[in-house]
Amino acid sequence: MSRFKDALISGIVLLLGRSGRRPVARRERPRIVTAGAPERAAENAVLVLLALVAVCAAAFVVFYALDRLGHQTQWLGLALGLAFALLALACVAIAKRLVVTEELSEPYPQLQHLEDQAEIEQIVEESGSRFTRRGLVKLVGAGALGTLGVAALTPAVSLGPVFDTSQLARSPWRRGLRLVDEAGKPLAAKDVEKESFYTAYPEHADRELMGSPVVVVRIDEGIVAYSKICTHAGCAIALYRKPTFADTEPRPALVCPCHYSTFDPAQDGKVLFGPAGRPLPQLPLLVDGDGNLRAAGNFNRAPGPSWGGVRQTEAHT
Amino acid sequence: MIRGLVRFVDQRSGAAPFVKKALRYVFPDHWSFLLGEVALYCFILLVATGVYLTLFFDDSRSQVVYQGSYAPLRGDSMSRAYESVVHLSLDVKAGLLMRQTHHWAANVFIAAIVLHVLRVFFTGAFRKPRDLTYLIGLSMLFIALLEGYLGYSLADDLLSGMGLAIGNSVAISLPVIGQYVGALIWGGQFPGSAAFWPRMYIAHVLIIPLAIVALLTVHLVLVAARHHTQFRESPKTTER
């Protein structure tokens, strides 16, 4: 019982402070920081806030330990977020109300040390006074270090086929390859209807290649296929625009939704509008004995977004 | 306690004069001077949560069939990278919390840097002798943007695929050197060789964070050496 009383009294003393018999602070030297009056209200607020931080942090551990808690992530986030928010509040209260602050003016640090600058220059000059052909030494030294730098960077070339940029024009298409839909089913010529839009891939080939996906449409002249990758920035040609205004747009056109590059399927993928700098690559087609569409060769130009010199590059398998 | 600690540190490092100066550092009393600190704490948070994420993330693009706990995706083909992200988000306790904290800290990081740059710009704090500090800060902004882009790309979801496709088209469209840069970074035509993912990964978790740490150190040393810009003394509180 008396132990409990001791604990209670010491707890109260801890909370309220020993205002009655505060020992006189040892004052051997004058204060550096200006004096400030105590602020019990702010101090109490900080104590409460810090206690709440501990409660929230403990709640985080509890939420983590509970296995069958619905919305566990949200509870964890709430507990941790509150803990940090309350800690921030406590810090603000401490900084604004409790830590002794004072308004001072201070000159900016010295901008430069003229004497030291001169001495450094002198030391460097004098240390190198035994060289007789300084210009030549500097030139050769720069050449040596520069070449060494180039040598050190050379292994980076192994990262990729730097000088073999024909890679960029790669396409899986070749003569005789069947066009298949997303499910892998061959695309029959009779199924390709006007005013509709089909996406096809080369049979048994990697569909992630830039050159793989094609769009197939039926126009007045017959069925045509183009690379589905816009020649501007590599987005997918995902729209087949109907003529919305017959005077200027007499025929449907292939449109990339990213920046509205518009290509004419009847004129070898000519750019009608938008930022694309070159026509859409066309895939020559043939119809086999079963009535299915097959490639009659590779694209007539490099598929994918454009790069310097792309107009001189042909698609290659 | 303070006396003992100070003695311990000073006797072993001789840091007492610096610490004394730092404690009496005249710091401008305005909230806008804390924006840079917000960015700094975001960076610390990003490193902490990022380290946690690396313990679960797999940087491989090899295809697997998802068999995890999220029913709508079961049976779908996906990369190991994305599978590990889904696993971390849905099956690891507090995994989604760590991932989302990383995500939002990255957003706040960029926002805080931008606001910090605005404060520096509009208070004229970019001028000599702080011009170098400013330029280092600006380069950190661009490096942070690249870092965010890589993090966005590593998850290998649909957004990251499109983002990388745009990045690739931008890279190869550079005049004269574009095709070589693209071929070098991606190891060929987009989506690139299998080695591209580990390349992005090591850049995201090691090379770029190290670059930020190095620039950050120089940035802070320069700030401390040249001191903060200060507002004019306010007439209200000046006793002269």
The average pLDDT across A60-88 equals 94
Predicted pLDDT of residue A208: 85
Position B154 scores a pLDDT of 95
pLDDT for the residue numbered B240 = 45
pLDDT the model gives residue B194: 86
Global confidence as pTM: 0.86
Mean pLDDT by 10 residues, chain B (240 residues): 92 94 86 94 97 96 92 93 95 94 97 97 93 97 97 92 90 90 88 90 97 98 90 61
All residues of chain B having their beta carbon less than 8 Å from the beta carbon of residue A80 are 97
Dihedral sign computed on CA atoms, order B88, B91, B94, B100? positive
| Cα(B59)–Cα(B193) distance, integer angstroms | 13
Chain B residue with CA closest to A230: the answer is: B169
DSSP state of A95: I
DSSP string, A177-197: PBEE-TTSPBPBGGG--BT--
- Residues contacting A261, CB < 8 A, separation 6+: A230, A231, A232, A255, A271, A273, A274, A275, A276
In this structure, CATH architecture of domain A167-317: 3-layer Sandwich (2.102)
Query: Does any CB of chain A come closer than 8 Å to the CB of residue B186?
Result: yes
Neighbour-count burial of A303, counting CB atoms closer than 10 A to its CB (0-12 exposed, 13-18 middle, 19+ buried)? buried
pLDDT of residue B146: 97
All structural domains of chain A with their residue ranges: 34-101+113-159, 167-317
pLDDT score of A25: 56
Question: Is the pLDDT reported for residue A26 higher than 70?
Answer: no
Average the pLDDT over A230-235 and give the result.
91
Per-residue model confidence as pLDDT tens digits over A278-316: 999 999 999 999 999 999 999 999 999 998 888 878 787
Residues B152 and B160 sit within 8 Å (Cβ to Cβ): yes
- The full set of domains in chain B, from first to last, is 29-226 (1.20.810.10)
Whole-number pLDDT of residue A19 = 55
Q: Percent of chain A having pLDDT more than 90? A: 65
A316 φ, ψ to 5°?
-140, 150
- Would you place residue A247 in the very low, low, confident or very high pLDDT band (cuts 50, 70, 90)? confident
ipTM of this predicted complex? 0.87
DSSP secondary structure string, B188-222? SSTT--TTHHHHHHHIIIIIHHHHHHHHHHHHHHH
* Percent of chain A residues past pLDDT 70, beyond the cut: 95
The pLDDT of A37-53, averaged and rounded, is 96
Q: How far is A225 from chain B (nearest CA, A)?
A: 21
Is B199 part of the contact surface with chain A (CB cutoff 8 Å)? yes
Which tens digit of pLDDT belongs to each residue from A260-286?
Answer: 999 999 999 999 999 999 999 999 999
Torsion-angle region of A311 (φ positive above 0: left; ψ -120 to 50: alpha; else: beta)? alpha
pLDDT at res. A21: 52
**Chain A residue at shortest CA distance from B180:** A162
Instruction: Give the best residue of B101, B180, B237 to mutate against chain A (max A CB count within 10 A).
Output: B180
Q: What's the whole-number mean pLDDT along residues A68-80?
A: 92
Q: How big is the CA angle at A261 (ends A258 and A266), to the nearest 5 degrees? A: 135
Whether residue A13 is predicted with pLDDT greater than 80 in this model: the reply is no
Phi, psi at A312, each rounded to 5°:
-90, 0
What is residue A267's predicted lDDT score, i.e. its pLDDT? 92
